[in-house]
Amino acid sequence: MAGRARSGRARVADGDRRRDDASAYGPPDLWQAEGVDVSALGNDLSRVLYTPEEVQDRIGELAAQVDRDYEGKDVLLVGVLNGAVMIMADLSRALSIHCRMDWMAISSYGSGTKSSGVVRILKDLSTDIAGMHVLVVEDIVDTGLTLSYLISNLRSRNPASLEVLTAFRKPEALKMPVEVRYVGFDIPSEFVVGYGLDYDQRYRNLTGVATLAPHVYS
Ligand code: XMP
Ligand code: MG
């Protein structure tokens, strides 16, 4: 129960029930009624997981935790491009403490929905993180492969501390020996889009989060 509360699931129990009742290809007006603008998306999305309001509320809670934990410290937020753009923008603006920001781009996925297991650094940090308090900001942790690579890479640069915040986490990630200190939402093992998450570079700019209908990628 504590885990559910921490991940923000408990708060939306009523909404979950409503969404579970909806058929896989429910009417677009249902999605709109829940605050997600999917009017132009036809049947590509199958189920709304979190509305924009639910996402923003949860980020406010995470920011309050980060404020408390990093009070009096100089924190560097390291956003992982491209998916973390939304959470970085919203989280950083919800913080009361000062923070710096830097970005990395790494690649573990191709244009499909399966992890390739191959991690490449496409863009490295501009900051020397030695002695800094680093908080990695991720969009989603799925298998955890990308994150465990990133963590060992960053740890070798001797930061004062190194923690991870992710907007979303899938159950597979729980098997990895990588500790994620702040989790927005634990979600099912389905491919999701919105709030920075893409399918083939689309849907990142949805303000809520939804599952992608299998017919889109099968
Ligand atoms: P791993 O498996 O290494 O994957 O933890 C992390 C990266 O995989 C992408 N990913 C997704 N992207 N919807 C997406 O749009 C998803 O459901 C999803 N699951 C994993 C993402 O790029 C993430 O950083
Ligand atoms: Mg992606």
CA of 197 relative to ligand 2 center, distance in Å:
6
Q: Which residue's CA is minimally distant from atom 20 of ligand 1?
A: 142
Report the domain count for the chain: 1
| Res. 46 pLDDT band, cuts 50 70 90 | confident
**Torsion angle of alpha carbons 109, 178, 2, 161, nearest 10°?**
-110
CA of residue 66 to ligand 2 center, whole Å: 25
Tens of pLDDT, residue by residue over 170-185, are: 988 787 788 999 999 9
Q: Rounded to an integer, what distance in angstroms lies between the CA atom of residue 165 and that of residue 187? A: 15
CATH code of the domain containing 172: 3.40.50.2020
Q: Name the one residue in this structure whose structure tokens are 């308090």.
A: 133
**Which one of 142, 186, 198, 200 is the catalytic residue?**
142
Quote the CA–CA distance of 175 and 189 in Å, as a whole number.
13
Would you call 142 a catalytic residue per the annotation?
yes
Eight-state DSSP code of residue 197: B
Report which of residues 89 and 114 the model is more confident about: 89
The phi-psi region of residue 46 (left if phi > 0; otherwise alpha if psi is between -120 and 50; otherwise beta) is alpha
CA-nearest residue for atom 17, ligand 1, is 191
132-157: average pLDDT: 94
**Closest ligand 1 atom, CA of 115?**
2
- The boundaries of the domain holding residue 122 are 2-217
Q: What is the DSSP letter of 188?
A: -
Judge whether residue 29 has pLDDT over 70.
no
State how far the Cα of 169 lies from the Cα of 167, in Å rounded to an integer: 7
Atom 9 in ligand 1: which residue has the minimum CA distance?
109
Q: What is the mean pLDDT of residues 62-91?
A: 97
Sign of dihedral through CA atoms 132, 80, 140, 84?
A: positive
User: For residue 166, how far is its CA from the centre of ligand 2 (angstroms)?
Assistant: 14
| Predicted pLDDT of residue 107 | 81
Q: Cα separation of 97 and 172, whole Å?
A: 33
DSSP summary character for residue 132: -
